[in-house]
Structure formats: C-alpha cells, structure tokens
Structure 1
Amino acid sequence: MEKVRVEDVESRIGPADVKRPLTRALGATGLAVNYYELAPGDSFAFGYHAHGGQEEVFYVESGTVTFETEEGPVAVGPGELVRFAPGEFQRGVNEGDERVVALALGAPKESGDLDLRRECPDCGERTPNRIERADDEEGALVTVCEECGAETGRFS
C-alpha cells in the first residue's frame, strides 16, 4: 500500500495552474494518476489530442470543465466523470470563473502515441504539434508545429 498527500507532490509546468503527477509517488505501475487545479482559461492538455493506447477518465471535484470532443462540447461539473477511449480526441478547458479541481486517470500508464493538434498561426489551421523545452527560458515548454516549425504555444 502507498499513501500520498497531494500537496506533498511538486507541481509541473504545463497548461494547468497546478499539475501534480501522482503516479510515481503512489508507486503505480499500470495506471497514470494526475491531480489538477485549473484557473479560468487553463487546460488539462497542451492542445486537442488523442492517446493511441490509453483510455482517460477525468473526475471533477469542483468547478466545471468543458471538453472539446469530436461530437461537440461536453460540460463536466462537480461530482461528474467522463471517459475517453484510446484514440478519442479531446481537450478539457476551464471556461468558467471558478477554479477547477480534478483528477485524471489513464490506463495503461504509458499513453502510446500522442496525436497533439494546435492552431498554427503560420499554417492558418490546426496542425500536428510536438512538445519541446524552450531554448530561451529556463524550464519553459513550447509546442511546435510539425509541418512548418512555428511555435504555437509557450508554457512556463
């Protein structure tokens, strides 16, 4: 058995105000577990995406998250859960004024191929992207269009 206090796990840089990766702290071998706090405008993910080999379940403790899906927007509020199958595109964003607190669970732990899409200002459309460390800012991450090499987002 492993017991972890969420506040004892260091937050990571990304599109969420707070992301605490709990998998390693729990010693989980077949499941990815992440704790999130989303300020208004924040997202769980770097963009609209699908995991090739992982299903994801999100549990919203407080606030409301709006997920962009292939079927249209889906609002998930306090006490609700949503599941995405492997290969199913989604992106959850806090579009409200209240802070969101949520857990994300992914199985298996390794997500398989990530298909990440973002709007590229140079290409003028949503294109495949990759995530890289920024060269000019310590600890920052950037998303880069795989078609033209343009930076499409910066996270610090």
Structure 2
Amino acid sequence: MERVEIAELEREPHPMGVNRERRDVGAALGTEELGVVHYELQPGEQFSGGLHTHHDQEEAFYVVEGTATFEHGTDEDEVEVEAGEVVHFEPGEFQCGRNRSDEPVVAVALAAPGRRHNWEDLESFAPCGECGEVTSHGVREPQEAFVIYCNECGHEMEIA
C-alpha cells in the first residue's frame, strides 16, 4: 500500500503552459496501470493543450470543487461538470476540459490502462501554420521539448 499527501507533491505544469497546478499522483503512488493527476485550475486555465484524444486510454475527471467545462467530440459540443460530478471519455473520444468560471476548479483525472499513454496514440486538433487551418496533429515523445506535427502536411512545431 502507498499513501501520499497531494499538497506535498511536486507541481508539474503542462508543458504548453495551460495550467500551473498539476500534480502526478500516480507517479508518487507508483501506479503502473492507472494514471491519477490532481489539478487546481485558475480561471482561464485548462487540463491539457487543446481538443485531443488518447486512442489507447479512457479518462474520467472527478470535479472536487468548482465547475469545469468540457468540449467533446470533433463538433466541440460542451458539457459543464460541477463539484461532486464525474465525466468519462472513451478511448478515441475527443475532449478538452477548461475552467471558464470565475472561481478555481479542483479536479482529479483518472486514466487507464497504463499510468502514461503512448505518445503515438495521442491525437489533437490544432491550427497548422503550413496548411492554414485546423488539422489533426500527432505528438512525438518528448525528449527536451514536445514536437507536435500535422498529420496532413507533416509540418512540425516544437514546444519547450
């Protein structure tokens, strides 16, 4: 059995700068088949770097405090998830959660199988500087920086 106090865990903000309070509980607990991440989002912050899916994992978000707004599907439908509620996304289901309220959001994200997803199974929609429109993008496993590439034209963008 492992036990941790979330407040004592190191903060690991998203590399794209979309949040400041992200703590990898799963790593601290030593989980292998379950990802657990604690978030505290200030107004305007988001859980990840945009509309994306994990083709190899399902995810659930339990909102502890506040109200999070999740875009889901490629048509970007939205649902508000309030404190005490949980939202679930199947592998391959696109989603992006953010804090659109004026109050902080505290939430726990759960992902399985595997504590970390396979980078080649991550897909996001983002503007492509080469194509001039929003296209499907992949991500290479980060070494020193994230490399996001357009699945349409191959254009690459590095994010430190």
User: CA deviation digits over 1:16-43, x for unaligned, max 9?
Assistant: 2210001121121210000001111111
Within the candidate set 86, 111, 116, 2:117 is matched to 111
What's 1:123 paired with?
131
Q: Say whether the 8 Å CA contact 1:42–1:94 is kept in structure 2.
A: yes
SS of residue in 2 equivalent to 1:73: strand
* C-alpha distance in 2 between matches for 1:19 and 1:143: 21
Q: CA RMSD in A?
A: 2.3
TM-score, normalization by structure 2: 0.81
Point out where structure 1 has 5 or more consecutive residues left out of the alignment.
Answer: 136-140
**Structure 2 residue 107 is matched with structure 1 residue 102:** yes
Consecutive unaligned residues of structure 2, counting only runs of 5 or more, are none
1:50 corresponds to which residue? 53
CA distance in 2, matches of 1:106, 1:86: 10
TM-score for the superposition, normalised by structure 1: 0.83
Letter in 2 for 1:9: L
Picking from 34, 40, 43, the partner of 1:40 is 43
Spell out, residue by residue over 1:121-156, the C-alpha distance to the aligned partner (whole angstroms, 9 max, x if none).
553322215378798xxxxx66644332356xx67x
Letter in 2 for 1:90: Q
Q: Is the 8 A contact 1:118 1:129 kept in 2?
A: no
Change (3 A) 1:51 1:123: same
Q: Deviations over 1:70-94 (max 9, x none)?
A: 1610110111000001111100011
Which residue does 2:71 correspond to in 1? Answer: 68
1:121/1:98 CA distance change after superposition, 3 Å: farther
**Total equivalences in the alignment:** 148
